[in-house]
A and B are shown apart, each in its own frame.
Chain A
Amino acid sequence: MTAPTLTREPQTAAVNRPGQRHRRRTNWTALAFVTPYVVMVLAFGVGPVLYALKLAFTTSGGGFAGTDNFSRVVNDFRFLPAVEHVGYFLLIWLVAMVLLVVILALVVHAVSVRWLSGVIRLAFYLPGALAGASSVLLWLFMLDPGASPVGSLLRGAGWSSFAETIAPGHLPVIFAVIAFWTGAGGWIVVMYGALNNIPTDIMEAARIDGANVVQTALHVQLPLLRKWIAYMAVLSLATGTQLFVEPTLLSQASNAVVPNDYSINQLAFQYAFDLNDVNGSAAIAVLLLVVALALSALFVARGGLFESEGP
């Protein structure tokens, strides 16, 4: 499907769009903007990845290790549970992100009172303005029925103590809720910007054709949002597979009832800093990279993120 109306740069979106399709002549301003990013990506993105690849295939002494590091970490009794934990979390979180963010953005967009729409967007965005760890700290109180402002809700669910709230089975949902709360707001604002970019004549035409709000959303707005949704899914996947801050803080707060090897990234951290095994840690990082890249590629392909429209 083509979406000609989205080839223009979104005005309100806070995210970079991929570069221009047609490079005309050397654009020094653009180069000046891009260079620092490229330098940073090489230094802190590509460089560490190459370094991790090297570590993952070598021994602590520097010799070639083959796949030893990989088989060691995969056979660790903590590896599969960690994969399972992150998998559940991702499933819940990504589905929630895609559904709720789109629905909320559509709702906000449908609000025609200007100040109200602004206030709602600000309210959605605010939690994301808190830095990662501090927003999780806030949740430590939310999850304790004795201290939580929504304690009655927790007790209603049958959880009368912090320990009952953070039972192992509840954790994927809890982490998904925390991650949604901290991360969804920014995306709602981005989607809102994308919705603004749909020309009024298309919306007008839909209205004249007799489409109601739901029909317009389903048949006009959603198809035009597809790339944005795929884009959000890819970036969220990147963040989600690296689940770390939430379980780490909850682990400290619960005196390790939430284990410090709950997620894959935490296990990598344990390998590097507890077991002094940077090679094993790098092997986990590489596995994580491969899986995340594969899933990203799937989203990119299904979402048509890089489809270019004919002239």
Chain B
Amino acid sequence: MRIARQSWIVNLRAGAMALTVGALAVSVAACSSSGGTKKGKYGFQQSSQDSSSAITVWVDSTRAAATTAFKKANPNVPIKVVTYDGSANGSNSFKTKMGLYDRSGNGWPDVVFSTQNNDASWASQKTGGKQAFAAVLNQGLVPDDVLSVFAKGALDPCTVDGHVYCLRNDLAQTVLWFNKSLMDQFGYSVPSTWQEYEQLSAKIAQEHPGYLTGSVGDTWVPEVFMWASKCQANQVTGARTVKVDTTTPECERAAKLIDAGVGNGTLTKLSVFSPDFVKKFSGKVLMMPGPAWFAGAIFNSKTALNVPSGQLGVAAPLSWGDGPAVTGNVGGGTWFVSSHSHNLAAAEKFVQFVTTADDYQVELAPGYPAYASAATKWLAKQADSGYYATSLAPLQAAASQVWSGWGSPEFSQEAIWAKTMAPLVTSGKSVADNLDTWGTAIKNQAQVVGYSVS
């Protein structure tokens, strides 16, 4: 019976392997034919349309309020809401799930919200012979006079080869947040260039050790520091081409700034969302370059720094003194319409409503609206709250200062930084000395995803 017993263990081993390959078996279900499609008028093959069919909307819990607002304003449009993780924190669930629907040939939702802003890179491309998931929006589906009101550059992450594949929900332009009360008390003036910022940080390290002027403990370091420095780490030059050079002077100056700040203790290595950060630095953050959403998520949040009303100020993005200041961007959600939708009219109505209507973007939205006219009203509402110690005008100006030389490729720059550079920063190694390592990691990842790298 020796052989029989061995095959028993083989079976057991094979049963365990099913964990690995079982998922594949499910994913490669029979591919049904794509059904009755006809050449549409919006620049992609449409499915047969039925204006009475309900649209399925995938949204994360934070943005669920948008669907409620839409239902209230449009009670006659049938809509089914599915809450999912918004593809956040690198889960990639949007892409993964659409890949499965591509294989089964049906089941796509009509509208999807993603917290990431690089989904257009894959959603605009055919996969496995299947039509690209994202509907083209700027060839008649969404009116031009709506598209043109979005802030300058807001639709860049949605645009591939001149086609717009998604509408931006909110912007995440980086600005310089500062504590006006503390700055006044210490007698410092707010810097306007990175050089002044670095000098002031060094001074603060001497005169008020323990106070912070920024953080490098999170994965958006490349967006806040490198992007704003015009570092050429992420120049997407085509749908599948990217240019990567992390050793240019632009990258180097930002890296040295990080090293200096970490060295003198004014840049913390803690994540701004960690309990330790709150414990150690509540009331001790003098300045912090960061995205628009830092205001609500970190400063004016009871579970984070909880800065009292009347102290938080916002200044224009810092410049490097080589031409007009540019800035980076950390996220900002996007809305996609499925090219497979059977009710494109309703899907379009929905995405237009949630990105432009005051009912949601001004009244309820937590982030800075990408739609410029909504943004103006949203800013007025924020100013009325009396929380801020300064005018919010720099925030609005920064919305159109996002440097366009940093693209939105299919791979995640944040994930690459997290994997290669974050452990180095944590262990006290120099960023400037390891720019090469960073560049190699970006190139490797880009190639794996199918980009040609130069």
Listed in ascending order, the chain A residues whose CB lies under 8 Å from chain B are 18-19, 21, 40-41, 44-49, 51-52, 55, 60, 76-78, 144-147, 160-164, 167-168, 234-235, 238-239, 242, 244, 251-252, 254-257, 259-260, 265, 268-269, 272-276, 278, 281-282, 285, 288-289, 292-293, 296, 300, 305-306, 308
Contacts and interface: CB of A to CB of B under 8 A. Distances in A.
Contact of B14 (A46, A76, A162, A260): A46
A46 B21 CA distance: 10
Contact of A144 (B12, B25, B28, B275): B275
19 contacts: A41-B11, A44-B18, A45-B15, A45-B16, A46-B11, A48-B22, A52-B17, A163-B426, A164-B426, A167-B423, A239-B16, A242-B19, A257-B219, A273-B96, A276-B99, A276-B127, A289-B13, A289-B17, A296-B9
Going nearest first, the 6 A-B pairs with the smallest beta carbon separation are: A45-B15, A256-B418, A45-B14, A52-B21, A48-B21, A146-B275
Contacts of A238: 12-13, 16-17
B319 to A, nearest CB: 29
Interface string B89-100: 111100110011
B33 interface: no
* Residue in A55, A238, A239 whose Cβ sees the most chain B Cβ within 10 Å: A238
B39 interface: no
Contacts of B412: 256
Given A77-B448, A256-B90, A260-B90, A167 B426 contact: yes
From B90, B100, B274, B426, residue with most partner A Cβ within 10 Å? B426
Interface string B271-285: 100111001000000
Contact of B276 (A18, A161, A234, A272): A161
Nearest to B418: A256
Given A45-B18, A51-B21, A146 B2 contact: no
Contacts of B28: 55, 278
A40 B219 CA distance: 44
A45 B19 CA distance: 9
Interface string B194-226: 000000000000000000000001110000000
Contacts of B423: 163, 167-168, 257
B421 to A, nearest CB: 10
Nearest to A38: B11
B45 to A, nearest CB: 20
Interface string B9-52: 11111111111111111011000000000000000000000000
B448 A76 contact: yes
B12 A235 contact: yes
- A144, A276, A293, A296 — most chain B CB neighbours (10 Å): A276
B274 A282 contact: no
A161 B25 CA distance: 41
A134 to B, nearest CB: 17
A97 B95 CA distance: 38
B24 A255 contact: no
A41 B6 contact: no
B267 interface: no
Contacts of B19: 242, 244, 265
B218 A255 contact: yes
Contacts of B111: none
B92 A268 contact: no
